Amino acid sequence: MTIKVGDHIPAATLVKATPDGPEQVSTTDFFAGKRVALFAVPGAFTPTCSAQHLPGFIAQADALKAKGVDEIACTSVNDVFVMKAWGQTNAASAITMLADGNADFAKAVGLTMDGSKFGMGTRSQRYAMLVNDGVVEQLFVEAPGEFKVSSAEYLLGAL
C-alpha cells in the first residue's frame, strides 16, 4: 500500500554518513518533532537526479527553511558511501543524505520501481513529501519518467 497524506511514516532504518562512519537512523526518531522536506531519487549520480533534483533542493534550502522546514533530506536506494560521495560532489551540506541500501524504506512507503531494465534492480520512485512530526503533510509522486511535482520549486510553491 502506498503511503498517503495523513499517514505516519513507517518504522524503518536508513543510514547516514558521519565523521565516525555510517550511522543507522530510525525513521521514528528522525522525523519526530520536526518538519522535514524529504525527497527521493531513483539513484545517486544518475542524470536527472544529479542535474536537476538534488541541485534544486540545494538552491532552495534557505527558502524552504524560511517556510518552516526544519530539515531537508534525500533518500535513495544506494549505499551510504555513494550517498556521502554524491552529497560531497554536489556541495549538499544543507541536505541530510539518507541511504536506503536495501530499499526497506522505499518498500515500507510503497514507492518502489523496477529499474531492472537499466541494471538497477528495485529502486525508489521519484517523489517529494513534507513530513510534520512523523505524519505526511504533503506528498508529490512523479509519473514514470517525469520530473515536475517532486522538485524543490514545486514543493516550495505548495507551502
The CB density around residue 90, as the number of other CB atoms within 10 Å, is: 18
What cell was used for 134? 512523523
* Cα–Cα dist 143/3, whole Å: 16
Active-site residue set: 49
DSSP symbol at 78: S
Residue 152: closest CA among 44, 49, 42: 49
